[in-house]
Amino acid sequence: MDLQTLTYIVVGLTFSLYIGIAIWARAGTTGEYYAAGRGIHPVANGMATAADWMSAASFISMAGLIAFKGYDASIFLMGWTGGYVLLALCLAPYLRKFGKFTVPDFIGDRFYSSTARIVAVICLIVASLTYVIGQMKGIGVAFSRFLDVDYATGLYSGMAIVFFYAVLGGMKGVTYTQIAQYCVLIFAYTVPAVFISLNLTGNPLPQLGLIGDTADGTPLLLKLDQTLVDLGFAEYTAQKGGTFNMMMYTLSLMLGTAGLPHVIIRFFTVPKVSDARTSAGWALLFIAILYTTAPAVGSMARLNLTNTIQHGEVGDPQGNLVYEERPDWFKNWENTGLLQFEDKNGDGRIQYYNDGNAEFAAKAEAEYGWKGNEMVKVDRDIMVLANPEIAKLPDWVIALVAAGGLAAALSTAAGLLLAISTAISHDLLKRTFMTGISEKSELLSARIAMAGAILVAGYLGLNPPGFAAQVVALAFGLAASSIFPVLMMGIFSTKVNKQGAIAGMLAGLLSTLLYIFSYKGFLFIPGTELLANTPDNWFLGVSPEAFGALGALLNFVVAFVVSNMTAPVPDDIRQMVEDIRVPKGAGDAQDH
C-alpha cells in the first residue's frame, strides 16, 4: 500500500472517530454547550485540557522553531509550561468556585459592569482570533502535504472538519473529541521520536538521546553544533538573542498561557472545585510527555535535514545533493510550496548554507562558486511532519504523524472557536443585549457565531504573519496584556473597581495591538507596518511577540491608579471576592 493511500486511511479513521464522538455527545442544552454539563471526570478533563492547549504551535511549530533557533527557542518550553502552572495554582480553582460559564461572565459580575463584560469579550475575541490563525496555519500545512494539494485547499478542508464537529457538539462534544485527539497526537508525536532517536543515538528515549552520542561517538548536540558552524550558521546550543528580550518573551508566554480563555473554560466543566485542581495536575502530566520530547525532535530534525542536503564535506561539490536525485520527501513538500529550491549557479546541485553570514558567504562564493543559499524557502512548520520522511521511517509512522498534526491543530481550533462563540452568544446576547432570549435561541446564536468565527479565522489563516508558533506568541501577548491582569486583580484584590478594570484592559490591549501593528502591519497586511521589525528598532529591545509582558504591567498600573481615583468597590462585591478565596467548602460545587 502506498503512503498516500495509507495516509488517507489513517486520517480518515481518526476523523470518523471525531465526528462519531461529536454526534454521540451532541449538546442539547446551553449548559452542555458551554460547560459540558459540568460532568467531566478530572482525568478526562486533564486529557482534554492537554489537547486543547497543545495546539499546532506545540505539535507542529515548536519543534520547528527549536530546530532552527536552537537554544533561543527554549523560551517556548519555559513560557508555556510555566504559564500553565501559574494558571493551575492562581486562577483555575477560584474561577471554578465562582461557578460561571465564561471568563467575561466572571469579569462582568466581579466588576459589576456590563461595560467591563463587553470589553472582556473584545479582549477575548482579539486574542482568540489571533491564536486561531496559528491553528489554521498548522491545519493548512498538514492538509496540503498529506492530501497532496496546495496550502489554501488544505486550509479549506480543515475548516470544513472543524465546522462540523465544533458547531454540532459544543463543549460537550469538543471535550470528548479532544480526549480522542490527545491519544492520537501524543502517540503520533512520541512514536517517530523513538524511532529517530534509535537511528541516531541507539537510545529509545528521545529525552536521553538528545544528550547521548551518535554512531561515531560524537555527542549529538556537539555534532549538530559542528555541522551548522561548518555551513556558516551559529552554534545550535549558543544563545543568539538578547537576554532581556528572552526574559520578556518568556514572561509574556507565561502570562498569556494563564490568561487563555479557551483553556480556562475547561476548568468549568468539572463537578467540583477540588476537581479543577486535580484535572490541572493531570493536564500538566499529559503535557509534559510532549514538551520533554520536543527538544529532541527539533534537534534531530535539523541534523537529519542538514545531513540529507549537505551529505559530504563542506566545500566539496560532490557533497551537495543533486537536485534531480532529490528524495521523494523533498518533492512532496515542494508540491505544497512550503519548500523551494533555486539553482543560482546552474550546477544542478543544492547549496545549503547561511548566506546571511557575510564572511562565510563571501568565502563560499570565492572558493566554491556558491552564489547564495539555494534553499530559498524552508518553512519551519514542516519539520515535524517531514522528519519521519527524511529519516526514512515506515509509511505507517508517517501517516500517523499526519493524523497527530491534524489532531493537534483541530483540537485547539475547536476550543478557541467555542470560546469565541460562547462569549458572543452568552456574554453579549444573553447577559447584555438580549437578556430575554430563550435557551433554544441562545444555542442557535452560539452555533451561528461559531460558523462566523471559522470563516474569519480561515480568511486570516490564508495570509498568516509568521510561523504558527510566532502567530501564537502574538496571541499570548494579547491575552497576557488584557485578560490575565484583570483576572488576577479580580480574584486577589478588593480595591480594583470597575473603572480601573476597564481602563486597565483597554490600556493593555491597545498598547500591545499598537506595538504589534507597528512592526507587523495592520491585520498583518504586508506594506502596512510603520517600523522595520529589527532589534535596533524595538522599544527597550523587546520584540512584538514579547511585548505582552510590558502590556500586562501597564494594565496593572493603570487599573490601580484609576481605581484609587474613583469610587471604591461596593461592600457586597468585596464580600464576594473574599468568598471566592475562602477554602471552606472548596470541595463542593459552589455555583453562585
Write out 475-526 in H/E/C secondary structure. Answer: HHHHHHHHCHHHHHHHHHCCCCCHHHHHHHHHHHHHHHHHHHHHHHCHHHCC
DSSP lists the bridge partners of residue 340 as 377
CA-wise closest residue to 413 among 457, 478, 379, 462: 457
Please give the distance of CA 281 from its chain centroid, rounded to a whole number: 20
Secondary element (H or E) of residue 75: helix 74-90
Q: How confident is the model at residue 24 (pLDDT cuts 50, 70, 90)?
A: confident
User: How far apart are the two ends of the chain, measured CA to CA in Å?
Assistant: 58
Secondary element (H or E) of residue 49: helix 42-53
- For residue 191, the SS3 value is helix
Mean pLDDT of 339-366: 84
Q: Which residue has cell 510532549?
A: 290
Residue-averaged pLDDT of the chain: 83
Q: What is the pLDDT of residue 495?
A: 93
Res 312 pLDDT > 80: no
In order of start, what are the domains of the chain with their CATH numbers? 25-301+389-465 (1.10.4160.10)
Res 221 pLDDT > 90: yes
Q: Determine the Cα–Cα distance for residues 144 and 151; give it in Å rounded to an integer.
A: 5
Lowest average pLDDT, out of 4-18, 264-278, 453-467, goes to 453-467
392 φψ region: left (φ > 0), alpha (ψ -120 to 50), beta (else): left
Q: What is the pLDDT of residue 32?
A: 59
Res 385 pLDDT > 70: yes
Q: Determine the Cα–Cα distance for residues 129 and 146; give it in Å rounded to an integer.
A: 26
The residues near 220 (Cβ < 8 Å, ≥ 6 apart) are 200, 201, 209, 210, 211, 212, 213, 214, 299, 300, 303
Secondary element (H or E) of residue 33: helix 30-35
Res 489 pLDDT > 50: yes
Q: What is the pLDDT of residue 462?
A: 77
Spatial contact of 171 and 418, defined as CB atoms under 8 Å apart:
yes
Please report, for residues 234, 245, 358, 467, the alpha-carbon distance to residue 238 in angstroms, rounded to integers and kept in the order given.
Answer: 7, 16, 19, 22
Q: Please indicate whether residue 496 or residue 34 has the higher confidence score (pLDDT).
A: 496
Res 584 pLDDT > 60: no
Secondary element (H or E) of residue 340: strand 339-341
Please report, for residues 165, 200, 259, 486, the alpha-carbon distance to residue 424 in angstroms, rounded to integers and kept in the order given.
Answer: 19, 50, 18, 19
Q: Which amino acid is at 478?
A: L
- For residue 357, the SS3 value is coil
Lowest average pLDDT, out of 478-492, 530-544, 574-588, goes to 574-588
Alpha helices by DSSP H, 391-467: 395-422, 439-461
Q: How confident is the model at residue 586 (pLDDT cuts 50, 70, 90)?
A: very low
Res 591 pLDDT > 70: no
CA-based torsion, 142, 56, 180, 165: positive or negative: negative
Q: Determine the Cα–Cα distance for residues 308 and 550; give it in Å rounded to an integer.
A: 42
Total count of residues recorded for the chain: 592
Please give the distance of CA 195 from its chain centroid, rounded to a whole number: 25
Q: Which residues of 125-145 are buried (b: 16+ CB within 10 A; e: fewer)?
A: bbbbbbbbbbbbbbbbbbbbb
Above pLDDT 70, what percent of the chain?
A: 89
Res 42 pLDDT > 60: yes
Spatial contact of 283 and 178, defined as CB atoms under 8 Å apart:
no
The DSSP string of 281-311 is: HHHHHHHHHHHTTHHHHHHHHHHHHHHHHB-
Q: Determine the Cα–Cα distance for residues 171 and 543; give it in Å rounded to an integer.
A: 35
Helices first, then strands: H and E counts in the chain = 26, 2
DSSP state of 437: -
Q: How confident is the model at residue 448 (pLDDT cuts 50, 70, 90)?
A: confident
Q: Please indicate whether residue 354 or residue 56 has the higher confidence score (pLDDT).
A: 354
DSSP state of 533: -
Lowest average pLDDT, out of 263-272, 393-402, 494-503, 554-563, goes to 263-272
Integer-rounded Cα radius of gyration of the chain: 24
Res 140 pLDDT > 80: no
